[in-house]
Amino acid sequence: MNRLLRVLALPAALLAVSAAWVLAQDITLIEPNEVGLSADRLDRISDVMEDYVEAKKIAGTVTLVARAGEVAHLGITGMQDVEAGKGMQEDTIFRIASMTKPITSVAVMMLFEEGHFLLTDPVSKYLPEFKDMRVLVEDSSEEIEPAKRPITIKHLLTHTSGLTYQWNARLGNKYQAAGITHGLIEDPKTIAEGVKALAALPLLHHPGDKFTYSPSIDVLGRLVEVWSEVPFDEFLRERIFDPLEMEDTGFFIPEEKVGRLAAVYEREKGGAIRRVGEGPQPGDHGMVHTVTYPYKGSKSYYSGGGGLVSTIGNYYRFAQMILNGGELDGERLLSRKTVEYMTSDHVGELREDGFGLGFFVDRNVGEFRGLSSVGTHGWGGIFYTSFFIDPEEELIGIYMSQLHPSGGLGLAAKFRVLACQGIDD
């Protein structure tokens, strides 16, 4: 059906919308056939999301599909907070975790365009603590050797720096002892202090030798401060969020918006979900996080790799800017050539799948996570949010939920298939 409005009794309280309506945050929904999409096929998204909510595998989701600059599907399914009886809304705020990384990468490349640095520059040119880095000798947890080459800015952008996260089996204990965090927990340090502590630890491998997902993007957040002489959170607000009208995106939530923040759920052994409690919580890979980090405790650590919260409408504006080649509604953040460079593969055989500067990049059909085209790019967050941009089809898909851990559920990947199969031109 072209206009779908379904409301079931709590706790399911399922709502899905697909119509030519104007909703909050200036999301204007058009009829899908106006942009070569099928309304009936897009309705499959809501059907699948409802199935997962009814099976109590997730609490709720918000999904968005846009083509040619127009939003053709906005699906609002299930609960923002089951215990409070609060349904998902189009302006629900989500912890987007690693979906922060593409935004930080855009900030970096804006300063690159202004001539503040070259991608081949060593990080130590701007952060002296990264001079003379040491590397953990392979197959050892203690022996170290001098790095063969310095870490460059491009190494940070492509996760080939040799840095790692604190759940790494070989370096995790050292990271934890040094208080290195991932941006998903209250941290009393500043990013300047956190990055300096990170630089004092050995690298997992020589820079440029391997792809290792890491807090490299936190280091980039600190570099944004050094280059711009503006605190990282202010730079993002003034140079990205304000121009793109992303009013609900930031590192910490003001008191008046806490009620819009989605609760985080976790999967029990039987497959059902339960609400994650306050305080430090163990998660995947030995990772510890807290669900109160966007609004309680210290608000001084701005994690470029994982600290932001946002709404689906806000993140859509960011994604549309990327699809447009760096511009949205007359506001140009990047040149088209810079966006092309960022969304091209830069890691080659170092990673099974392609990776650019802040985005995965599908290099060939064998790497596809769905039915999208070569050159499709995007990323996801550990609390179960994801997005993709297919430039060939002018298609954007965004999925947002709050579930950790989510491994094995496969719903975000299914969403990508469901979004692409809606093409009907």
**Tens digits of residue pLDDT in 226-251:** 999 999 999 999 999 999 999 999 99
- Phi, psi (deg, nearest 5) at residue 81: -150, 105
Please tell me the predicted confidence (pLDDT) of residue 176: 86
Question: Which carries the bigger pLDDT value, residue 286 or residue 40?
Answer: 40
- Which residues lie closer than 8 Å to 286 by C-beta, 6 or more apart? 166, 167, 172
Q: Quick one: pLDDT band at residue 187, thresholds 50, 70, 90?
A: confident
Please tell me the predicted confidence (pLDDT) of residue 279: 72
- Distance in angstroms (rounded) separating the CA atoms of residues 108 and 81: 35
- Distance in angstroms (rounded) separating the CA atoms of residues 76 and 96: 17
Q: Tokens 């790692």 label which residue?
A: 164
* Inter-CA distances, 67 with 32, 90, 230, 389, Å: 9, 19, 36, 10
Name the least confident of 90-104, 277-291, 360-374, 377-391: 277-291
Which of 94, 81, 93, 91 has the alpha carbon at shortest distance from 11? 81
3-state helix, strand, coil in the chain (%, to 5): 30, 20, 50
Tens digits of residue pLDDT in 117-175:
999 999 999 999 999 999 999 888 789 999 999 999 999 999 999 999 988 989 988 99
- Distance in angstroms (rounded) separating the CA atoms of residues 187 and 263: 20
Question: Which carries the bigger pLDDT value, residue 34 or residue 290?
Answer: 34
Q: What is the mean pLDDT of residues 82-89?
A: 97
